[in-house]
Amino acid sequence: EKGGYSTYMEKEINEQPQAVGDTLLGRTDEQGRLTLDELRIDEDKLRQVDRITIVACGTAAYAGMVAKYAIEHWTRIPVEVSLAHEFRYCDPIVSDRTLVVSISQSGETMDTLMAVKHARELGALTISVCNTHGSTIPRESDAVLYTHAGPEIAVASTKAFLAQITACYVLGLYLAQLRGGSYADDAQQVLTELHDIPGKITELLDGMERVREIARFMADTRSVLFLGRNVGYPVAMEGALKLKELAYIHAEGFAAGELKHGPIALIEPGQPVFIVVPGPSTPHGLHGKVVSNIQEIRARGARTLVIAEHGDTAVEPFADEIIRVPSTSPMLAPLLTVVPLQVFALELSSAKGLDVDQPRNLAKSVTVE
Ligand code: M6R
């Protein structure tokens, strides 16, 4: 049942190309335009949306953070991400033009369910991004956009995360398409690139041996930091969460720009730091800014584990290790950059002899508030 793998998590990491591909499948017409009739929401109603709030917990909330950058960039509709349990009890500002998107693999997370029910009571339009057919959150929502990751058994979410990001991209690009004009043209181009992602994940998964080795050497490590910027920031947070959950190691994800506002004080000789580097074509010179961050922490003795696109030579002088990922458009990068971090956490956990699929104190679906 584990398909020849020794853990479900490893199997699920390897199923990610398919999870992304299947989530895209059947959602475009012959002209290559997105069709989301399955939502059964009047297009005009979607055109009127003037604000989006994403509610989710844990890894699903990090998918939401990625979605915020992408959807705002593609549609110029303001998007906010709220942890579901915070949203529910903070007197959220919601109108009938607010779209509340919940993200949940299980569809049974009580915190997320309560947030959705509350949003509906307040008059919002609710869409559930969910991996489990017939589960409670989709039933309690106005519409559902299913992720097609297949059953996820390991407690640590991997393929569902990639499928959630993909579904949110689809939703964002669809909203851009509805806006028309240059929004629609740009969306069309990104969609073409999105279809290339499954092949790129396969290529990436084939080259993970060095990441495994690094993880095995680090079995005694007590703390790991993760830095990222823009869409790389939630990837850094997800890398840290995976390591906490699976290897019980203290780990923190930071926005790279925050370094000088405090966290750089943590850097001491030998401190391992993963840095998720934006592709060189990322707007606003973000690539160069993150490369300077790497330089700064290396100068203070950090051990820099750099995730960078193939061909990005600027990182070379400051990297102790470079983990290469295929290049793609900046907003889509999380579907690639998170993969080595998943493999790293998995391998470190097994190097410590821990139960990868069933980490201590955790349940696959959290059905209490
Ligand atoms: O089923 P859900 O997507 O609603 O679950 C949300 C979180 O509990 C979940 O992502 C959790 O953080 C995972 N264990 C992360 O690996």
What integer is the mean pLDDT of 124-133? 98
Examine the pLDDT at 121 and tell me if it is beyond 90. yes
Examine the pLDDT at 348 and tell me if it is beyond 90. yes
**What is the token pair recorded at 210?**
């060095």
* Beta-bridge mates of residue 274: 226, 305
> Which residues are tagged catalytic?
364
- Determine the 3-state secondary structure of 180 from DSSP: coil
Span from the CA of 212 to the centroid of ligand 1 (angstroms) = 24
pLDDT tier, 302 (very low <50, low <70, confident <90, very high otherwise): very high
pLDDT digits (tens, 9 = 90+) for 187-234: 999 999 999 999 999 999 999 999 999 999 999 999 999 999 999 999
Closest ligand 1 atom to the C-alpha of 156? 16
Q: How far are the Cα atoms of 85, 115, 177, 296 from residue 101, in angstroms, in the given order?
A: 14, 10, 18, 38
What integer is the mean pLDDT of 279-295? 97
* Ligand 1 in reach of 112 Cβ (< 6 A): yes
Closest ligand 1 atom to the C-alpha of 109? 4
ipTM given for this complex: 0.98
* Ligand 1 in reach of 55 Cβ (< 6 A): no
* Ligand 1 in reach of 128 Cβ (< 6 A): no
Span from the CA of 142 to the centroid of ligand 1 (angstroms) = 22
CA distance 341 to 253: 12
* Ligand 1 in reach of 328 Cβ (< 6 A): no
* Ligand 1 in reach of 110 Cβ (< 6 A): no
pLDDT digits (tens, 9 = 90+) for 36-84: 999 999 999 999 999 999 999 999 999 999 999 999 999 999 999 999 9
Closest ligand 1 atom to the C-alpha of 59? 10
Ligand 1 pocket mutation pick from 12, 105, 111, 146 by most atoms within 8 angstroms of CB: 105
pLDDT, mean over the chain: 97
Looking at the whole model, is its pTM more than 0.90?
A: yes
**Which of 217, 216, 236 lies closest to 226, judged by CA?**
236
Choice among 131-140, 286-295, 334-343, 360-369 with the minimum mean pLDDT: 360-369
**Which of 335, 265, 261, 257 lies closest to 290, judged by CA?**
257
pLDDT digits (tens, 9 = 90+) for 236-276: 999 999 999 999 999 999 999 999 999 999 999 999 999 99
Residue written as token pair 């959950």 = 245
Burial class (CB in 10 A: 0-12, 13-18, 19+), 222: exposed
Residue written as token pair 């959220």 = 92
Q: Above pLDDT 90, what percent of the chain?
A: 98
Report the first-to-last Cα separation within the chain, whole angstroms. Answer: 32
Examine the pLDDT at 140 and tell me if it is beyond 90. yes
* Ligand 1 in reach of 57 Cβ (< 6 A): yes
CA distance 110 to 369: 5
Examine the pLDDT at 1 and tell me if it is beyond 90. no
Within 10 angstroms of residue 314's Cβ, the number of other Cβ atoms is: 16
Span from the CA of 365 to the centroid of ligand 1 (angstroms) = 7
What integer is the mean pLDDT of 156-175? 98
Task: List the alpha helices (DSSP H) in 40-142.
Answer: 43-47, 58-75, 84-88, 110-121, 136-139
Ligand 1 pocket mutation pick from 55, 109, 113, 114 by most atoms within 8 angstroms of CB: 109
CA distance 341 to 301: 22
What integer is the mean pLDDT of 309-320? 98
**Torsion-angle region of residue 92: left (phi > 0), alpha (psi -120 to 50) or beta?**
beta
What integer is the mean pLDDT of 145-153? 98
* Ligand 1 in reach of 366 Cβ (< 6 A): yes
| Torsion angle, alpha carbons of 149, 153, 158, 159, to 10 | -10
